[in-house]
A and B are shown apart, each in its own frame.
Chain A
Amino acid sequence: MSDAYSAAGRARWWGILAAACVIAVLPLVFRDSYWRTNLIVCALNVMLAIGLDFVVGYAGQLNLGQSAFYGIGAYVSTLLIMRLGLPFWPAFVCGVVASALSGMVLSLFAVRLRGHYLAIASLGFAVITYQVLLNWISLTQGPLGIYGIAPPPPVGLPGWQIDFTDLANLFYLVAGFALLSYVLLDQLVRSPIGETLTAIREDEVSAASLGINARLWKVFAFAVGTAVAGGAGCFYAGFVGTLVPDAFFITESFNILAMVIVGGMGTLSGPVFGAILLTVLPEFLRGIGDLRLIVYGLALTLVVLFMPGGIAQALRLARDRLMRASSRQTAGAKP
């Protein structure tokens, strides 16, 4: 049994290595700034989606406020840089921590609330955050937005300077963090923490009967999932260069949720594909009006109705069918 585990573990490291190779090659394939910009958006969305999936797919807590944590990371880091002159990386850490702390505060509601109540509380939290960003004009400049945000500072290696005004380098940075977040979350869900969170998702009363403190673990799940979103927010600010509250409106939460559901919640690789698909696919539909959000909505509904496990489930089904077909072939070849 432990053999099967280490085999799966090795396969996973090969997968991660492959992902790293793909990340390395992508900016070389896509050389125009339009597609490189999209690549960065993909990487940001991957971070947002896997962070949300940790909370929704594993711990089973429907968080409709991911847009707010994204925004908190973005605004906190940017304001620290622009108002207090903090360097990027300390501000990045503060943004992540601020996001995680607000996630923990929200999760304290999740402690007493389950299911729908939490969904609405988190939606309310997202509405409040958005309205604060919009109305606290002396701090955030409200709907006018904050302009001229610098990208992360260049990293100097001996004889080689990595400059993040170059979109390819910025993509390496963000995608690197996305991969790092993925590995971190993957390690967590493959540890006993994964079973603990799933137990809470499946049945809290039952989980408590096994000594699981659901309160504590929900706070933990929120802290981790929203920290990743906060990190994405910090990069977003440096990447786009401007911050307006509308970027963190509640519909953004729904978009991230769509990525998780379409990819397959409760798996980590699924939402990665979901995020990439729902970022790239609408780009091809650009000619036909603003179909992006119609596609998101339609995909969300259809997947829930007809393929609740999302892309991950579809891939699994396809693989099983292939294996069955090939085993039938070898069986047929024998006599």
Chain B
Amino acid sequence: MSDAAAIFRAVGLSKNFGGVRAVKDVSLAVAPATVFAIIGPNGAGKSTLLNLISGVHPPDAGTVMFNSLDVTALPPHARVRHGLARTFQKIRLFKQLSVIDNVVAGFHARHRIPAWQYVWHGTAFRADRARCRAEAAELLAFVGLSGRGQALAGALSYGEQRMLEIARALATAPRLLLIDEPAAGLNAAEVEALLERIRVLRQRGMAVVVVEHNMDLVMNVADRVLVMDYGEPLFEGTPAEVQVHPGVIAAYLGAES
């Protein structure tokens, strides 16, 4: 992929935890309006890779480029302003806040309120508030949580919480969305709805990176697939290529048995 085409590019990322080499020399590039899947057995280093991309952990080696801009040294919150959003494998919602407030918190970097109106709520403040609430309601509708806005986030079912996390991430208006094991704990119907939503996001021009340990799940939706094993990139290609790659099959059979 040419530099101009990729919205995101990581080169030679590595990360050790004590003696564990969680990620070893991984490179990837993601184009806009594509779905990029990262698959691999549990413990392969997928979540760690996501944490390196989003800035939660600093890498031991390698660079992270976003829109041809080196963001390796930027803290996680600064990367959001460049259009990067994520969800977490272990759901991290603001459990004491209502569903809608979780989404509204995602608008943090996008408010348009003059400073003094934080103290004296004026017209611009009210307009901003109305805009955020309306957009948040739309996002909730998109993830199938219409009418649940006033519930406490902690009171949602597991599958609903996963969807809320996606809505919250979308509230930052990302151009690259990283989702970590979004299908974990979802039933078949919910998984189908999730895949459909990912397709819609791609259609809107968003780049989506999906981490998943279940290979079959992403084959229908991914444009490209990176297979990881023991922290290392094992193979990258189209879903069709991955499915017939002997190394991948061996890794998965090995992990399963």
Contacts and interface: CB of A to CB of B under 8 A. Distances in A.
Interface of A: 1-2, 5-6, 9, 184, 187-188, 190-193, 195-196, 198-199, 202-203, 205-214
A211 B81 contact: yes
B56 to A, nearest CB: 6
Contact of B97 (A1, A187, A190, A198): A198
A1 B137 contact: yes
Contacts of B78: 211, 213
Given A2-B126, A209-B85, A187 B118 contact: yes
5 contacts: A5-B129, A184-B119, A192-B111, A205-B92, A209-B77
Contacts of B119: 184, 187-188
B252 interface: no
A175 B168 CA distance: 41
Contact of A190 (B55, B93, B106, B121): B121
B125 A198 contact: no
B94 to A, nearest CB: 4
B168 A210 contact: yes
B93 A212 contact: no
Interface residues of B, number: 44
Contacts of B172: 210-211
A210 B108 contact: yes
A195 B111 CA distance: 12
Given A192-B108, A211-B80, A214-B77, A206 B130 contact: no
Interface in B96-145: 96-97, 101, 104-109, 111, 113, 117-121, 125-126, 128-130, 132-133, 137
Given A1-B133, A209-B85, A202 B109 contact: no
A199 B94 contact: yes
Contacts, number: 104
A195 B105 contact: yes
B113 A192 contact: yes
A210 B137 contact: no
Given A192-B113, A209-B76, A187 B105 contact: no
B76 A2 contact: no
A191 B94 contact: no
A2 B75 contact: no
A175 to B, nearest CB: 20
B95 interface: yes
B131 to A, nearest CB: 10
Contacts of A192: 104, 107-108, 111, 113, 118, 128, 132
B230 interface: no
Contacts of A210: 77, 80, 85, 105-106, 108-109, 168-169, 171-172
Contacts of A212: 77, 105, 108
B235 interface: no
B46 interface: no
B104 A205 contact: no
B97 A191 contact: no
B137 A203 contact: no
Nearest to A202: B94
Given A187-B118, A208-B75, A199 B130 contact: no
Given A209-B86, A210-B108, A213-B77, A191 B113 contact: yes
A130 to B, nearest CB: 33
B148 to A, nearest CB: 14
B76 A208 contact: yes
B139 to A, nearest CB: 13
A166 B85 CA distance: 59
B177 to A, nearest CB: 11
Interface in B1-58: 54-56
Contacts of B132: 192
B54 A209 contact: yes
Q: Which of B108, B111, B137, B168 has the most A CB atoms < 10 Å from its CB?
A: B108
A205 B50 CA distance: 14
B80 A193 contact: no
A185 to B, nearest CB: 10
Contact of B92 (A1, A196, A198, A203): A203
